[in-house]
Amino acid sequence: MKNIVILISGSGSNMAAIVQAAQQRRWGARFGVQIAAVVSNRADAAGLAWAQDQGIAVAVLDHTTYASRESFDAALQAHLDGYAPALVVLAGFMRILSADFVNHFAGRLINIHPSLLPAFGGLHTHQRAIDMGCQFAGATVHHVTADLDHGPILAQAVVPVLPGDTASALSARVLTQEHLLYPQAIEGWLSRASWV
């Protein structure tokens, strides 16, 4: 079995959608993969308890206990390497990763971002889309590169911006689509993997 490791910082709703898709769509039998672990940089990340309830190994590496971004990333990389991951999935992992980390996992590190990249990389994407008068927003699954939110796009979902939308209302509608898009994008990636 090849391993997928998911990184989270909060509720883990995208992580849960991925785990459920892996079970329901039989990724183990079809692609020879398993969700091997969920790792967080925050001990209070609610998604950890959910993952543990599913029988998935969990771990916390608290970034605040490391002297620098690079030292945290080196420790995280060493921990992940213990799983020899075929794919590392960022699912609400709220850390900007160093170039060394990204390069180490190049081609097997993916993220979901709540905008239609290349528009609105970074934070506050929904409010920025509303402020710019966009008619559409959405989500993007992409390969992670050293340039923040600029890696090659794997999949996108489009969500209309409605009259009178607030950032929180738009965010909720986009998140619903993220939960569908991210597992589909991962499944597409797995279907193209060389070992399948």
The sheet with strand 153-160 has its strands ordered as: 57-60, 33-40, 2-8, 85-90, 109-113, 136-143, 153-160
Between CA 176 and CA 181, with CA 178 as vertex, the angle to 5 degrees is 120
Q: What angle do CA 61, 69, 182 make, to 5 degrees?
A: 65
The Cα–Cα gap between 103 and 36 comes to: 22
Active-site residue identified among 63, 79, 104, 113: 113
143 counts as catalytic: no
Residues annotated as catalytic (active site), given as ranges: 113
